Chains A and B, each alone.
Chain A
Amino acid sequence: MKRLLALTALAISAFSLQVTPGLAEGQLKVYHWFEYIPQELVDKFEKETGIDVTIDTFDSNEAMLASLKAGKLGQYDVTVPGDYMVEIMRNEGLLDSYTREEMPNFGNIAPEWVDAPFDPGRKHSIPYQWGSTAFSVNRDVYKGDISSLAIIFNPPDELKGKINVLDSQGEVLALGSIYLGIPQCTQDRVQLKALNDMLLAAKANWASFGSDTAKDVLVSGDAAAGMIYNGFSAKARAEGANVEYAFPKEGFVLWMDNMVLLKDAPNRANALKFMNFLLDPENAAAVTNYAAYNAGVKGVEPFLSDAVKKSPENNPPANQKGEFIKACDQETQKLYDAIWTNLKK
């Protein structure tokens, strides 16, 4: 359903945005997610620089990759892949690199995001927005301690049979691994067997798998606890559900969207201007206020709206660590695919 909506919007936006005439300062072709940048910010950039911005949209990392590989590379200057997709695109040679001299605002990148595992030292990308995936609990049903992933994987009696987990292999297996304290993309038999057995035992306590429905089941009360994206949990709270988002002590899953410089960019200089523009704290804050995630840029606080600034879902405690979902190699991925199928057969 969501996919259809996004496709329709894509079709409409592709028509409406491409008719603006070129200006003297040249063009910028952005390949972006649907509804992920406020139009006012694009207008501001156009006004400041005189560059004419064209935005086409996609609805999944995989669709974007497929379309670039199918011949769109060389038509766009920048795009916005998720963490693991940056690594894939880098390995496939789809990204151009920039130097720090070319990016005056590089120093604004929050120090913890400069050395991202998917782009060490940030040679191709800048942070766009980031968030986390963990779980939420309905505090009317369960008032106890929710600081551990055991809430999902070895739940207390009050929550048994009332848990929704994301219908997504990456998140479920990564959170399961974090709970057991084993690395992602391991080939260690003992560890994989332990993960498999733990998940099968946990499944007996789960009510349902659902990603698109993850928020609705918490709001309606069908589930009393659920694995969830932080943005979804904030929305559930805004809709009146008494849910609390947990940053579990074992760790949680991180995701980060990044703006990357594409190889063979037709307007490379303008692309760098745009990336630099987005690293300006005021502009980064504008995106965050719009998308309600986190910026990954220093000094955004004064420009953030109160709702975003105070959102408990957006502010992990300083001592709690998240990790990105790793892109395993093909042989290892097979093992994880088998565990997932085994869980759902």
Chain B
Amino acid sequence: MAGLPRDEAGTAASYASLARPLLLPTWLIIGVFLLLPVLLMVVYSFLTKEFRGGVEWTFTLAAYEQFFVTRGLFGDEPPSIEWTYIIIFWRSIWQAALATLLCLVIGFPTAWFIATRPPQSRGIWLFLITIPYWVNLLIRTVSLRFILRDNGPLNDALIVTGLIDAPLPILNSDVAVQIGLFYSYLPFMVLPIYAAVERFEFALSEAAADLYANRWQVMLHVVLPAVRPGILAGTILVFIPALGAFLAPDLLGGAKAFMIGSLIDEQFRGSQGNWPFGAAISVILMTLVLIALFIQARAASRGAS
């Protein structure tokens, strides 16, 4: 922003000396509630597991070895790659990615629709989108159980309309988990895209159309690059929480197969827990997310230049 008016720049300068003290609470909160816990997690992942919960303060790589290396059930086979946890990660990533894609497919037209309404009615549409999310996530997930079950309203309706003869076994399946994930995070996709589309200068698409671009070309070369930051933000906001979700897999998927979230949860539960291993899984997950964010940030900066 090269052309800041003089008076605004002047105001900014007059507050400059206050910047540090005013930012102090923010730094404190980030330090105490973000950096410190993450640091603790990293430290714990290198400690020795104490039998029946807790840790001993002895350095070890055992937690990471448990994640990547197997020696068979009895621990006496030659070491080979442990696929168990990689499969669990893969399943979670796949479910989260699919949920993100579904959110995008439904969320983009929705956001577009809202952003192209007259300004005075947009607020109402946004309001309608957010209403279901005033209810706690746990309650919404349990409610989905009621809707999806064999003798629930969804199957009843399908049977009454004659589309199916017997109830579809949706509950306790991957499909139910997917519905839960998609539904939980949809507004996180709609809202940032809406913000981007609302700022979009529609004169640009009209100009493109005047220059004989067809609808696809307008969308691909004019609209999408302009709203790209909104799409990227929405993708991150959906993908990352979906990756660690454990309510939907537990309540809708029947907890039959571990996802990353439930695998970590299990490590801190009861007398069979393994805190260093739980911490190590968290560190590995966080590393993957950071790598994904890094790639995304590079893509975004390339897109901007």
- Residues of chain A at the chain B interface (Cβ within 8 Å): 1, 60-62, 65-66, 84, 88, 161, 164, 167-170, 189, 192-193, 196, 203, 206-210, 213, 220-222, 327, 330, 333-335, 337-342, 344-345
Max count, chain B CB within 10 A of own CB: residue among A88, A167, A333: A167
Identity of the chain B residue whose Cβ is nearest the Cβ of A335 in the assembled complex = B73
* A342 & B84 in contact (Cβ 8 Å cutoff): yes
The 7 A-B residue pairs with the shortest CB-CB distance, nearest first, are A208-B254, A209-B255, A330-B51, A345-B84, A208-B172, A207-B172, A344-B258
Contact B84–A341 (Cβ < 8 Å): yes
Ordered by A's residue number, 21 sampled pairs between the chains whose C-beta atoms are within 8 Å are A1-B138, A66-B53, A164-B254, A170-B270, A170-B272, A189-B74, A196-B73, A209-B256, A210-B254, A210-B255, A220-B146, A220-B149, A221-B150, A222-B149, A327-B271, A333-B272, A335-B73, A337-B272, A338-B73, A340-B272, A341-B258
Q: Which chain A residue lies CB-closest to B87?
A: A345
Of B84, B149, B251, B256, most buried by chain A (CB within 10 Å of CB) is: B256
Total B residues in contact with A, Cβ cutoff 8 Å: 32
Q: Can you name 10 extra interface pairs (CB under 8 A) apart from A65-B52, A161-B169?
A: A62-B271, A88-B52, A167-B250, A189-B74, A213-B251, A220-B146, A221-B151, A341-B258, A345-B88, A345-B257
Interface of B with A (CB < 8 Å)? 51-54, 73-75, 84-85, 87-88, 138, 145-146, 149-151, 169, 171-172, 250-251, 254-258, 270-274
For A330, the closest partner residue in chain B by CB is: B51
B257 contact set on A, CB distance < 8 A: 344-345
A207–B138 CA distance with the chains assembled, in angstroms: 21
Shortest beta-carbon distance from B75 to chain A in Å:
8
Q: A248 to chain B: closest CB distance in Å?
A: 23
Give A206 to B250 CA distance when docked, in angstroms. Answer: 14
Given contacts A189-B74, A222-B149, contact A344 B52 (CB under 8 A): no
Interface centre among A61, A65, A189, A344, by most B CB within 10 Å?
A344
Known contacts A203-B256, A344-B257; is-contact A192 B271 (Cβ 8 Å): no
Contacts of A170 in B (CB 8 A): 270-272
- Please name all residues of chain A whose beta carbon is closer than 8 Å to the beta carbon of B251 when the two chains form the complex: 213
Contacts of B52 in A (CB 8 A): 62, 65, 88
B residues within 8 A CB of A345?
A: 84-85, 87-88, 257-258
Bound complex: CA A249 to CA B169 (Å): 32
Docked CA distance A188–B84 (Å): 23
